[in-house]
Structure 1
Amino acid sequence: MKTVGIVVEYNPFHNGHLYHAQKARESAQADVVIAVMSGHFLQRGEPALVNKWTRTRMALQNGVDIVVELPYVFSVQKAEYFAKGAISILHELFCDSFCFGSENGQLAPFVETIHRMEESAEQLNPLVHKYMNEGFSFPKAQTLARESFFGQQLPLDLSKPNNILGFHYVRANKILSQPMEPLTIKRQQADFHEATLGNQSIASATGIRKAIAEQQGQLQTIKPYVPATTFDELHRYLNTYSHFHEWNMYWPLLQYRLLSSSTEELAQMYDVSEGIEYRLKETARQATNFTEFMQAVKTKRYTWTRIQRALVHILLHVSKEEMATAMEAVRYVRLLGMNKQGRTYLSKIKKSMSLPLITKPAAFKEMLALDLKATEIYALGLSACSSHSLLHSEFNEHPVILP
């Protein structure tokens, strides 16, 4: 059976994701599509709109055969480590290829750009440090260093978010002992961060979440942009838990963490550096909600995303030491769901896997400690009854199985 892997968040699953899954299968001529999906907290440092079980069902109802979880240690990360974890898991599952969406839409520029940047690493690194010392954020310093050294000569535009992720996917794959075949398809219509819905059938997840928030949870306006199954799953989630998840739900918990921790304790949390702990603590005394807090904390040096990721780690009390150990390598593959085709494939490969394939978390609590803690904190944004229900599903629910 031929397999293709995709890296996803599905926050929520929309028509653009459906196009990606279909084109991945078609481009790879694959029998099985495997999605490695972030859990309850995402790459840009925010809680997922709905829990991972609901997003798994959305995927399996729309062209994905197997969904596995990208562990917390890799999911709430900058692109380099996010890609490392995802590509390692797809490789462990014996994917023949992986397929990612990009603004560029052609593979050759990714390969050529990686080659040229690796050749020039010794010259680029000092330039990055130079711009960071001038007060620029790390991503901006990287951009300025590339522009300074290469001018307009690089074939890939690394200011685009999907191109950036694709660059790191291809680079992570390149260093594997037996690399998969990389494939890319051009991103359709809406840009990654496009905040409006527009007139087409494909909108960004950002635009869809913004529309849901503006309509106070009403879903009718997003109906043209998501598959019918996604629309139904979102309705079901709202009826079950009363709320979709967003940062302001966790503001009292985060504010307590910031105010009850010393600056020395905050400095030990992962992604907290360069004295930002003082700014975080002082701002937490004044802000009345998460949005107000973020607007006051953000500076030229710290991007919104970088700050949010640090705040997730503070919220979960995840230290630099804890993450350093966990980030060394992927240690397990947790199955979230599969259909009949996926089940047939897993039964063929599971004995050849070098890592445990986890279907019952109760037997792997120590190994899954960070993922389980992420779910516990994620559940605290809900009412007591709803929180208990979500936690019960984390420890007791078997993988989602669809026909």
Structure 2
Amino acid sequence: MKILGLIVEYNPFHNGHIYHIQKAQSLDQFDYTIAVMSSSFVQRGEPAIIDKWKRSQIAIEYGVDLVIELPFVYACQSADYFAKGAIELLAKIGVTDICFGSENGDISTFINIAQTLFENQESYDSYVQQAMKKGLRYADACNQALQNIMHQEIKTPNDLLGLSYVKEIIAHHYPITPHCFLRTNTYHGLDLKHIASASAIRHAIKNHLDFAHTLPHFELYQNDLYFMEDFFPYLRYQILTTPPYELKQYHMVDEGLEHLLYKSIHHCQSMNELIDSLSSKRYTRPRISRMFIHILMKNTKEDIQEAMHLDYLRILAMNERGRKYLSLIKKTCPYTLVTNFSKHRHPALDMELKATRLLSLLSSSPQDFIQKEFSHIPLIQTFDL
């Protein structure tokens, strides 16, 4: 069988994602399409603008057969960890091919770079460490190391993620063939074209601009929208009531950041102001934002390490084809297939529930929002939100 895998966030699901699904499916005669999707929070350190159930249902409507959850422990991380979790889960569920959009558009470039770095891992790691000691951000340090070894650059977010996917495939010898295609827009552009960037659409939603032509199901973006800045009062309370020696136990609070946090929170009046006060040559805004989410959830460094050892695949949504595929692989899949939240225990699932509870603080019906973790039925017969 040929199984297509997509690594997605759908934050929000827009016309470009429809193009991505159709373009990827046109590469070969695939039997099934499986997407692994970030859950309540996304890689850049923000809550998903609408909940994962709605996003996964839209994916099923537009051609995906099965949506599995990328657990919070991997979703809200740097590109390398994000890729590690996503590729691992796709490999365990039997995906044979993956396809991603990139600014480069040439998969041979990614394969060549990933293979060279794998063969020169010690030198690469050394260059990265040296660059970070000089104060460079991790992504910039990686790019400088790449220049030193191959005289090439990978700078844009989608290309960095794509390279991370290919590195994971090569490092673990996964039987997965990677593909990519050229993106149709810039990842940070704010133009509201027919195919607009997710950043542009989120900006339009937040600022009450007309974005209806950029995505399906415009009606879903009228109520219960989730934005990072709305967590500021909770974050402020958390930092003010937590001693610095406890703050530094939380994931990503490193190198004295606990003291800077405690100092900054006294004079900052908004989330953006606080992020700006901490951003630097070393720490990007997404990195700071991810740290805030871990502080809000009180995730210690030990919690994260424990939760990363996955042994399950959680199903968010599927159509009848997806259900057929699950029945085919349930005896051979090395991971437990979870459709009922309460029937499998794992630290990553406990953390997932904690993330849901955090996001419920912004919901108009918090108890119903939390209850969906236990009562949601993943089989989608018709599209009815």
Per the shorter chain, which TM-score range? over 0.9
Query: Which among 194, 204, 207 is matched to residue 197 of structure 2?
Result: 204
Whole-angstrom CA distance in 2 between matches of 1:39 and 1:399? 14
- 1:81 Cα deviation (Å)? 1.1
Deviations, residues 353-396 of structure 1 (Å, cap 9, x unaligned): 1111111112225451011111011101234xx11121111121
- 1:149 Cα deviation (Å)? 4.6
Moved more, 170-179 or 61-70: 170-179
Whole-angstrom CA distance in 1 between matches of 2:363 and 2:188? 27
- 1:121 Cα deviation (Å)? 3.2
1:361 partnered with 2:350: no
Instruction: Please tell me the residue identity of whatever aligns with 2:288.
Output: I
CA distance 1:192–1:3, shift in 2 (3 Å): same
1:234 partnered with 2:213: no
Percentage of matched positions with identical amino acids: 38
1:351 partnered with 2:340: no
Q: Which residue does the alignment assign to 2:81? A: 81
Report SS of the residue matched to 1:286: coil
- 1:234 Cα deviation (Å)? 2.7
- 1:178 Cα deviation (Å)? 4.3
Whole-angstrom CA distance in 2 between matches of 1:13 and 1:114? 29
Instruction: Please tell me the residue identity of whatever aligns with 1:184.
Output: C
1:394 partnered with 2:383: no
Whole-angstrom CA distance in 1 between matches of 2:343 and 2:165? 31
Whole-angstrom CA distance in 2 between matches of 1:402 and 1:88? 28
Query: Which among 247, 250, 253 is matched to residue 272 of structure 1?
Result: 253
Q: Which residue does the alignment assign to 2:296? A: 315
Instruction: Please tell me the residue identity of whatever aligns with 2:355.
Output: A
Report SS of the residue matched to 1:4: strand
1:193 partnered with 2:168: no
Query: Which among 304, 311, 325 is matched to residue 306 of structure 2?
Result: 325
Whole-angstrom CA distance in 1 between matches of 2:26 and 2:196? 22
1:158 partnered with 2:154: yes
Instruction: Please tell me the residue identity of whatever aligns with 1:191.
Output: T
CA distance 1:124–1:178, shift in 2 (3 Å): closer
Report SS of the residue matched to 1:184: strand
Query: Which among 355, 359, 371 is matched to residue 378 of structure 1?
Result: 359
- 1:11 Cα deviation (Å)? 0.3
Whole-angstrom CA distance in 1 between matches of 2:86 and 2:57? 20
Report SS of the residue matched to 2:233: helix
CA distance 1:90–1:366, shift in 2 (3 Å): closer
Whole-angstrom CA distance in 2 between matches of 1:185 and 1:132? 32
Give every structure 1 segment of 4 or more consecutive aligned residues whose post-TM-superposition deviation is greater than 4 Å.
none
Deviations, residues 104-123 of structure 1 (Å, cap 9, x unaligned): 11211111111222333333
Aligned residue pairs: how many?
381
Instruction: Please tell me the residue identity of whatever aligns with 1:226.
Output: L
Instruction: Please tell me the residue identity of whatever aligns with 2:218.
Output: F
Contact conserved, 2:307 with 2:346, CA < 8 A, in 1? no
Whole-angstrom CA distance in 2 between matches of 1:312 and 1:28? 39
TM-score normalised per structure 1: 0.90
Instruction: Please tell me the residue identity of whatever aligns with 1:350.
Output: K
Q: Which residue does the alignment assign to 2:28? A: 28
Contact conserved, 2:106 with 2:181, CA < 8 A, in 1? yes
Q: Which residue does the alignment assign to 2:112? A: 112
Q: Which residue does the alignment assign to 1:257? A: 238
Q: How does 1:215-234 map to 2 (within 5 A)?
A: 215=208, 221-227=210-216, 230-234=217-221
Q: Which residue does the alignment assign to 1:176? A: 172
Instruction: Please tell me the residue identity of whatever aligns with 1:398.
Output: I
CA distance 1:144–1:309, shift in 2 (3 Å): same
Report SS of the residue matched to 1:206: helix
- 1:84 Cα deviation (Å)? 1.0
Whole-angstrom CA distance in 1 between matches of 2:24 and 2:266? 48
Contact conserved, 1:58 with 1:233, CA < 8 A, in 2? no
- 1:48 Cα deviation (Å)? 0.6
- 1:224 Cα deviation (Å)? 1.5
| RMSD over equivalenced CA pairs, Å | 1.7
Q: Which residue does the alignment assign to 1:121? A: 121
Contact conserved, 1:57 with 1:400, CA < 8 A, in 2? no
- 1:400 Cα deviation (Å)? 4.4
For structure 1, the 5+ residue unaligned runs are none
1:62 partnered with 2:62: yes
Q: Which residue does the alignment assign to 2:72? A: 72
For structure 2, the 5+ residue unaligned runs are none
Contact conserved, 2:115 with 2:170, CA < 8 A, in 1? no
Deviations, residues 268-302 of structure 1 (Å, cap 9, x unaligned): 11111111111111111111111111112211111
TM-score normalised per structure 2: 0.94
Whole-angstrom CA distance in 1 between matches of 2:145 and 2:173? 31
